[in-house]
A and B are shown apart, each in its own frame.
Chain A
Amino acid sequence: MAIEINKELSGGLVEQRMVYESGNEMAAYAAHQINYHVMGYFPISPSTEVAQFLDLMKANGQHDIKLIPADGEHGSAGICYGASAAGGRVFNATSSNGYLYMLEQMPVQSGTRFPMVMNLVCRSVSGPLDIHGDHSDLYFALNTGWPILMCRDPQAVYDMNIIAIKLAEDPEVRLPVLVASDGYFTSHQKRRVQTFAHRADVHRFVGELPPSGFAHVLDRNNPITVGPYMNEPDYINNCYQQTMAMYRAGDVYDRIRQEYALLTGRDYPILDLYRMEDAEVAVFLMNSASEIIKDVVDQLREQGIKAGSIAPNMIRPFPQKEIAEALRGVKAVTIGDRADSYGGHGGNMTNEIKAALFTHGNAATKVISRIYGLGGKDFYAEDGHHFFRLAIDAAEKGYVEVPFDYYGHTAGDPDKAPKRVLEPLRFEDLKTGLITAERDETTGKLKVKVPPVRQLTKKPKRLAPGHGACPGCGIFSGLELFFKGIEGDIVALYQTGCAMVVTTGFPYSSHKATYIHNLFQNGAATLSGVVEMFWERKRRGELDGLGLREDFTFVMITGDGGMDIGMGPAIGSALRNHKMIILEYDNEGYMNTGAQLSYSTPLGHRTSTSNVGKHQGGKLFHHKDTAQIMAATNIPYVFTGSESVPQDLLRKAAKAQYYAQNEGLVYGKILITCPLNWLSEEKIGQTLIDDAVNACFFPLYEVEQGITNITHNPEEKGKRIPLADWLKNMGKTKHMTRPEYAEALKSFEDEVERRWQRLKAKHESPYL
Chain B
Amino acid sequence: MRIQVSCFATLSRYAPTDGFLEIKEGATPIDVIDQLSIPREEVKIVFVNGQNSGKEIELQEDDRVGIFPAIGGG
A binds B: no
**Which residue numbers of B lie inside 8 Å of A, CB to CB?**
none
